[in-house]
Structure 1
Amino acid sequence: MLLANAHDGGALLLGVVPPRLTTGRERVREIAEVTLARLNRVDVDGLALYDIDDESDRNPAERPFPYLPTMDPATYHAEYLGAWDRPTVIYRCVGKYTEAELGTWLRQADTGRVHSVFVGASSKDKDVRTRLPQAQALRRSVRPDLLLGGVAIAERKDEYLRLIAKQTEGCSFFISQVVYNTNAAKNLASDYYYACRERGLAPNPILFTLSVCGSVKTLAFLTWLGVDVPDWLANSLRHADDTLTESFEHCVAGARDLTAFCRKLGMPFGFLIESVSNRRVEIEASAALAQEVGVVLGR
């Protein structure tokens, strides 16, 4: 469903961060019920569950929101989200796990319900248990039938070449970092599409991540994460009477722009909608944004 819709008008996913690791089982069940109810209100093709890692090695500046370890997304999915019957993309920060741990999960994964995105180390100096090329090779050896995606950072120089390399390593789709610079996302889609055509490759779908921003602190966190927020837009968000509404409208406009561009280009695409904040108002706004982007896609 996920890739089929990406090739046929645009895929749509909702991204969710699992509960904190310290959360009690009863409270986790309550959170899961709220998540399932939210999913049932929006017409999405799938769910993305994030694997949160400490990235202070990448950015030494103070993190606007503290790093708090969260549940293993695979455990959260298997034990609490059984009622969700559509595909789930489970992120794996592969450096957190040994090859044996990744291998065990790969062998047990239900490939009818589960896809994955492997994420490498946040910096070259970080101590890791498994490096991204090792994880990719392990998946090819153990579970080549597991649909695998890769991370795309639109603003990074020559990112389209990295996408082609990841495609060669077995990635069937890509999910971008949060997009606030729509032109950078269009540049990536264009560069990748034509580079694939030159090489006789079929381009894989790129799912563009959109995230609402409900406060100046959330804006600071987006910047800390490395999201490119153009100065004019950062000014608009800082000085808006309602920052959340301002960001929501920008995300919808960006979705319209990227949809029109990718459809004209012939590039398979989609959107992943998330909230980088755990504030309820921003999480609810992300669900509303998913509904609105669904309208943009013609649902």
Structure 2
Amino acid sequence: MLRESILNKKAGIITYGMTPPKASNTAEKIAEISQKQIERLKNVDIDALILYDVQEESDRIEEERPFPYMAMLDPETYSEQYLHELDVPKIIYRCVGKYSETELTNWLTKSSAQERFSVFVGASSSQQQVTLELTDAYKLSSLHNSSLTFGGVIIPERHSKKNDEHKRVVNKMKQGCSFFVSQATFNVEASKSFLSDYYHYCNELEIGMVPILFNLAPCGSTKTLEFMKWLGISIPRWLENELKYSSDVLDKSIQLTNKIFEELLEFGLEKGIPVGCSIESVSTRKVEIEASIQMLNDIKSLIDKKRLVEIAR
């Protein structure tokens, strides 16, 4: 159903994202971690599971990383060997710059007859050394596996500075991207400005809008807040203050984030923009991971309620 929902440009697609365990873990430890993740997600109604491909981003920013970088297990390896019990489509992220043309081609042609999904991610900064450009990855995908459904990444906050994120998105659509996932969303104004320009630009070009999945993540501590900021997530000053001075940072973040997505969903539904949602926890703390599952259920209920309202109209 995921492929049909994407190709039919359906609103309300909901996914859950997570990072594979550390590659240095023993097989027993990885199995233990995966079993906990399976237990959390097996009864949750999602359209797909997103598995991230992590890259070291020290060249993106001069500030010291709040949490040390560690190599993670390959996302597809983790999916195939440890998460097969989760009977949902897996969207595999690929940071294409760290792969050679041969490596990516081999991955693309592997099981090419099967239904597969991916998100291609480019360099984290202009300083990052890459072996493969994003445009080359798009071409390789079209050449070697035309059945792969792949998407891209959007950064609404970048739109506030450059006012061209909608054009970047449409350009990637022309190269085969059929959906987009944002980084964690806290800046509702930047996101609405992007959606508005995206809507009008697509109307001008007379092309259909593809699904935009806004990423949501709970924030349960000032340490997590600092990590989010290090990742480049735009957190408005007022919202940062609301979290820092709250008696319950985690609960406050859930309340605020749910409201942000509700506003974006309503804005999208009014204009016929296929807005969806992807939820994750950027923290490995149990309390924040469980909060992300709570958010998932909250957002699922919200989407279902909005759909009923739209049907009633």
Aligned residue in 2 for 1:238: 244
Identity of aligned residues (%): 43
Corresponding position: 1:277 with 2:256? no
Alignment of 1:95-244 (within 5 A): 95-109=97-111, 112-156=114-158, 157=162, 158-244=164-250
Kept in 1, the 8 Å contact 2:10–2:211? The answer is no
**Scaled by the length of structure 1, what TM-score is found?**
0.96
Corresponding position: 1:43 with 2:41? no
AA partner of residue 136 (structure 1): Y
CA offsets 1:126-184 (integer angstroms, 9 cap, x no match): 11121111111111110111001000000112100100110011100000111000121
CA offsets 1:173-214 (integer angstroms, 9 cap, x no match): 000111000121111111111101100110111000001101
CA RMSD of aligned residues (A): 1.4
Aligned residue in 1 for 2:256: 250
C-alpha separation between the residues in 2 aligned to 1:111 and 1:221? Answer: 40
Structure 1 residues 113, 251: closer, same or farther in 2, change over 3 A? farther
C-alpha separation between the residues in 2 aligned to 1:203 and 1:26? Answer: 44
Cα drift, residue 17 of structure 1? 0.6
Corresponding position: 1:66 with 2:72? no
C-alpha separation between the residues in 2 aligned to 1:276 and 1:52? Answer: 12
Corresponding position: 1:291 with 2:293? no
C-alpha separation between the residues in 1 aligned to 2:55 and 2:301? Answer: 33
Kept in 2, the 8 Å contact 1:3–1:205? The answer is no
Aligned length: 299
C-alpha separation between the residues in 2 aligned to 1:281 and 1:3? Answer: 33
Cα drift, residue 85 of structure 1? 2.1
**Scaled by the length of structure 2, what TM-score is found?**
0.92
AA partner of residue 104 (structure 2): L
CA offsets 1:55-104 (integer angstroms, 9 cap, x no match): 11011101111111101101111111112222111000111111111111
Structure 1 residues 237, 110: closer, same or farther in 2, change over 3 A? farther
Provide the secondary structure at the position in 2 that maps to 1:116.
strand
Aligned residue in 2 for 1:54: 56
C-alpha separation between the residues in 1 aligned to 2:259 and 2:127? Answer: 38
AA partner of residue 202 (structure 1): G
C-alpha separation between the residues in 2 aligned to 1:212 and 1:111? Answer: 37
Kept in 1, the 8 Å contact 2:11–2:211? The answer is no
Provide the secondary structure at the position in 1 that maps to 2:148.
coil
* Structure 1, unaligned runs of 5 or more: none
Provide the secondary structure at the position in 2 that maps to 1:172.
coil
Cα drift, residue 9 of structure 1? 4.1
Cα drift, residue 41 of structure 1? 2.8
C-alpha separation between the residues in 2 aligned to 1:97 and 1:45? Answer: 28
Alignment of 1:57-96 (within 5 A): 57-96=59-98
AA partner of residue 235 (structure 1): N
C-alpha separation between the residues in 2 aligned to 1:21 and 1:131? Answer: 25
AA partner of residue 219 (structure 1): L
AA partner of residue 288 (structure 2): E
C-alpha separation between the residues in 1 aligned to 2:296 and 2:3? Answer: 18
Kept in 2, the 8 Å contact 1:111–1:146? The answer is no
Cα drift, residue 5 of structure 1? 4.5
Of stretches 62-71 and 31-40 in structure 1, the one that deviates more from structure 2 is 31-40
Kept in 2, the 8 Å contact 1:193–1:267? The answer is yes
Cα drift, residue 237 of structure 1? 0.6
Provide the secondary structure at the position in 2 that maps to 1:118.
strand
* Structure 2, unaligned runs of 5 or more: 306-313
C-alpha separation between the residues in 2 aligned to 1:173 and 1:129? Answer: 25
